[in-house]
Amino acid sequence: MVSVQEALSRVIPHDDAPLASPHPIQGPEPPARNPVESTNGFRPPGYDEMPGTSNASGFFAAALHNQNQNLNLNQPHIQQRFPTSQLLAQLTSSINLDPASSQNNNQNVVTFNIHFNQQLYQIRLPLEATVEQLKRKIFDETSVPVCRQAIRGWPPSKASDAQQLGTRICNLDLAPENELILVDLTDDGFMDTEQDEVTQRVDKNFTIFIQFESDTPLTLSMSGRTTVQEVKMNVCDIKSIPVRHQEWTGWPNGCDNDTTLAQSGIGLSHRFAVRSTERAAPTNSNQHNAFEVVTADSESSADEFEDATDFNNAEYIFTDLPPAQHLNRHLIPNNTDDETSGSTQFVENYKARYGEPCPEFFVGSLESAKQLACLRPAKERKLLAIYLHHGKSILINVFCDQLMKHESIIQTFKEKFVLYGWDMTYESNKDMFLSSLTACISSNASLTARNIKLDKLPAIMLVGKSRQLGSNCEVLSVIHGNIGLDDLLTRLIETCEMFEEQLQVEIRQEDERAARDQVKAEQDMAYQETLQADMAKDAAKRQKEAAQLAERKRIESERAEEDARRESIRLVAQQSLPQEPSEQETGTSKIRVRKPTGDFLERRFFTNNNLQDLLNFVTANGFLIEEYKLISSWPRRDLTAIESSQTLESLKLYPQETVILEER
């Protein structure tokens, strides 16, 4: 029977002399198994501790613990090194050597690595424990009160459940070992839930430090909206490591390719380690290839070419030898300045290389092509066809010299599409165009173009805009270069018919809107005419009233002037009257004047007073001689027509007389 110390010496490294048997039995080593297969780059829980011949374990552990967390290995809660032979006796009492019992215990225990203040705290709890018990353990280690603990790194689908203190750990879909981040909310105003912080972190920038096994480190700055898949694609573009060959260390548990950086639970500054699992394909040195070898970047070559049946069945393509490759395979020079100049060079080089006839390409920016095709009324709208060229593809010459020169293809592009071409041969031009796709079309369009493999190029992306697709343009179909003429024409026509069918509702709505607008325009015109007529009437009325007002003012002014003149004449006549004699005086005459109303005016005069004095008396009472005449009763005569200097005595108007006022 093997002793306890001898058993421990086989599994625990130490500084003393080894306790192993002098003749160890070496059995055949089992083949190494890739632990990240079918995980899309995510390492299974406890991968660093999994057995195997790969040296990635030590590399990732160092990258994660030494660079990302800057751990202080001298903390009392972290064992820094394994025990030596002097401690074996103390350990044997607490070690259970029963494999079945040990396995059952490990399955019922969850390990939490709590990252807080640049330190790591390891806590082990049974599966039946609650979140509240975990937080109390954290309080014992960090002294952060339970009410002020915000724990990040839970699986996104269970983040809300993890906020409930009574939730059991076994219900949170956790791995046997989990990386969690502790945030002290003392200075943060007691934030409510993790989801609130995710909302705040979405618009923040994350700085990602990536350590590679045999390459220079990489630093990326990305928005919180960036997904894990997009991070991997960036690493693929920069380091040329396909996503399926990327083995990551440092992501919290529960993350998948659709998880955003804000949801992942990492800090605004975080470190990762990436290892490439790609192996060089064996080559045959005795085989000489006359053509360039193109590696299909695909996870399953059989699946990738499952859709290539029609292309292989297009017998006419291979009846003749394919045209010889041109020396300069690109159509746009490297590092072109802008889209317009690149588009111009593309069209010129395409025509020079493949000759006439050829499709009519749009010359200008992608934004201008999109506006011409998509940003028009539904009846005039077309599909935007984006032709993606790559000089290193073996399909280029066949596709361009035969399919793209066919009359039906050229005519279809001319009538139904706005055709825009771009060369993806150089990475600089590819990156520029992908950025333009993101800005002009959508991020999905850019991702679609990026994911087209070299053995599928050239390709045609069909982009359209309709109300059913939403407010933005979307990719309706992608036609790869490994296709025959009939299938290419069929795909183009089917996509057009589908797009036109989607536009029918929008066209009908536009027609109804146009009819409503026409009726509204006619109503507005009639209203305007009526309004103009009413305004003309109002203007005429106001003009008439103004004229009447002016006439009244004129009349009133003349009347006032006339009244002033009459008053002036009356005052002069009144001031000219002689003094009236008294009744006792002799040589007087009493004159009575009957007014038109029948009333009488009466005054005494001296007989030697002249007729003018009588006329002044009448005038002083408001009866102007120019308006009235004074008639004597017997003999009847008009006294105003007689010389006014004659005396009353000479005119026989004494001792008394009655005269009559008549209007002239």
Q: What is the DSSP string of 257-268?
A: TT-BHHHH---S
Which comes out higher in pLDDT, residue 465 or 185?
A: 465
Residue 609 pLDDT > 80: yes
- CA atoms of 421 and 360, how far apart (whole Å): 10
How sure is the predictor about 197, in pLDDT bands with cuts at 50, 70 and 90? low
Asked which of 4-18, 493-507, 558-572 is least confident by mean pLDDT, the reply is 4-18
How sure is the predictor about 535, in pLDDT bands with cuts at 50, 70 and 90? very high
* pLDDT tens by residue, 472-498: 788 889 999 898 999 999 999 999 888
Residue 393 pLDDT > 60: yes
pLDDT of the residue at 421? 94
* pLDDT tens by residue, 201-255: 888 889 999 998 777 888 998 888 899 988 998 888 888 888 888 888 888 867 8
DSSP state at residue 81? S
Distance of CA 558 to CAs 116, 552, 565, Å? 104, 10, 10
- What CATH number labels 339-509? 3.40.30.10
Residue 536 pLDDT > 80: yes
Pairing mode of beta strands 656-663, 628-632:
antiparallel
Pairing mode of beta strands 383-389, 459-464:
antiparallel
Domain ranges of the chain: 109-191, 195-275, 339-509, 588-663
| Average pLDDT score, the chain | 76
Q: Name the amino acid, one letter, at 535.
A: M
Helix, coil or strand: residue 617: helix
- CA atoms of 42 and 319, how far apart (whole Å): 47
Residue 84 pLDDT > 60: no
**Angle, CA of 100, 102 and 106, to the nearest 5°:** 120
Hey, do 195-275 and 339-509 end up sharing a CATH topology, with the first three levels equal?
A: no
- CA atoms of 68 and 70, how far apart (whole Å): 6
pLDDT of the residue at 413? 92
pLDDT of the residue at 105? 55
- CA atoms of 169 and 127, how far apart (whole Å): 5
What kind and span of H or E run contains 229?
helix 228-239
Pairing mode of beta strands 588-594, 600-606:
antiparallel
Q: What is the DSSP string of 231-252?
A: HHHHHHHHH---GGGEEEE-PP
pLDDT of the residue at 328? 57
Backbone angles phi, psi at 222, to 5 degrees: -135, 155
Of residues 480, 453, 476, 451, the one with CA closest to residue 466 = 476
Backbone angles phi, psi at 608, to 5 degrees: -85, 0
Q: Helix, strand, coil % (nearest 5) of the chain?
A: 45, 20, 40
DSSP state at residue 438? H
Q: Which tokens hold the place of 323?
A: 């045209």
Tell me the torsion sign for CA atoms 229, 231, 237, 239: negative
How sure is the predictor about 632, in pLDDT bands with cuts at 50, 70 and 90? confident
How sure is the predictor about 417, in pLDDT bands with cuts at 50, 70 and 90? very high
Of residues 603, 575, 574, 592, the one with CA closest to residue 630 = 592
pLDDT of the residue at 380? 80
195-275 is classed CATH 3.40.50.1400: no
Q: Residue 456: CB partners within 8 Å, gap ≥ 6? A: 304, 480, 481, 482
pLDDT of the residue at 326? 42
Residue 529 pLDDT > 60: yes
Q: Which tokens hold the place of 43?
A: 């390492």
Residue 29 pLDDT > 80: no
pLDDT of the residue at 382? 87
pLDDT of the residue at 20? 38
Q: Residue 178: CB partners within 8 Å, gap ≥ 6? A: 45, 110, 111, 112, 113, 153, 252, 253
Could you tell me if 144 and 138 are in contact, meaning their C-beta atoms sit under 8 angstroms apart?
yes
How sure is the predictor about 189, in pLDDT bands with cuts at 50, 70 and 90? very low
Which residue has 């045999």 as its token pair? 214
pLDDT of the residue at 109? 92
Q: Name the amino acid, one letter, at 469.
A: L
Cα(first)–Cα(last) distance of the chain, in Å? 165
Q: Name the amino acid, one letter, at 392.
A: K
pLDDT of the residue at 583? 85
- Of 76-80, 155-159, 434-438, which one has max mean pLDDT? 434-438
CA atoms within a 13 Å half-sphere pointing along the CA-CB vector of 560? 6
Residue 95 pLDDT > 50: no
Which comes out higher in pLDDT, residue 291 or 653?
A: 653
Which residue has 């007389």 as its token pair? 657
Fold of 588-663: Ubiquitin-like (UB roll) (3.10.20)
Helices (H), 610-658: 611-620
Q: Tell me whether residue 454 is exposed, middle or buried, using C-beta atoms within 10 angstroms of its C-beta: 0 to 12, 13 to 18, 19 or more.
A: middle
In DSSP terms, 275 is beta-bridged to 247
DSSP state at residue 648? T
Of residues 46, 62, 40, 34, the one with CA closest to residue 255 = 40
Q: Residue 121: CB partners within 8 Å, gap ≥ 6? A: 75, 77, 113, 114, 138, 141, 142
Buried b (16+ CB within 10 A) or exposed e, 93-113: eeeeeeeeeeeeeeeeebbbb
pLDDT of the residue at 65? 45
Q: Residue 394: CB partners within 8 Å, gap ≥ 6? A: 291, 292, 294, 455
pLDDT of the residue at 282? 43
How sure is the predictor about 470, in pLDDT bands with cuts at 50, 70 and 90? low
pLDDT of the residue at 641? 87
* pLDDT tens by residue, 346-378: 999 999 888 888 899 999 999 999 888 888 887
DSSP state at residue 389? E
- CA atoms of 621 and 640, how far apart (whole Å): 16
pLDDT of the residue at 283? 39
pLDDT of the residue at 321? 39
Give helix then strand counts, H and E, for the chain: 18, 17
109-191 is classed CATH 3.10.20.90: yes
What is the chain's Cα-based Rg? 55
pLDDT of the residue at 27? 42
pLDDT of the residue at 6? 53
Residue 191 pLDDT > 50: no
Could you tell me if 233 and 450 are in contact, meaning their C-beta atoms sit under 8 angstroms apart?
yes
